[in-house]
Amino acid sequence: MTDTPIRWGILGTGGIARVFTEDLLRLPDHEVVAVGSRAAHTAEAFATRHGIPRAHGSHADLAADDQVDVVYVATPHNGHYPAALTCLEGGRAVLVEKPFTTGAADAERLIAVARERGLFAMEAMWTRFNPLITRLRTLVSEGAIGEITSIYADFSFASAFDPAHRLWAPELAGGALLDLGIYPVSFAWMLLGPPGTVQATAASAPTGVDSNTGVLLGYDSGAVALLHCGLMSDSPHTATVTGTKGRIEVAAPFFRPTAMTLHRRDAEPETFTAELDGHGYTYQAAEVARCLRAGELESPVMPLAETLAIIGTLDTIAARLDQATAGRTSA
The residues annotated as belonging to the active site are 98
DSSP assignment string, 82-140: HHHHHHHHTT-EEEEESSS-SSHHHHHHHHHHHHHHT--EEEE-GGGG-HHHHHHHHHH
The alpha-helical segments, DSSP class H, found in the chain are 15-24, 40-50, 59-63, 80-89, 104-117, 131-141, 176, 182-192, 282-294, 304-330
Peptide bond into 253 cis (omega under 30): yes
- CA distances to 105, 114, 210, 254, 277 from 131, rounded to whole Å, are 32, 28, 32, 12, 10
- CA distances to 210, 230, 277, 308 from 202, rounded to whole Å, are 6, 9, 36, 23
* Closest C-alpha among 12, 3, 5 to residue 97: 12
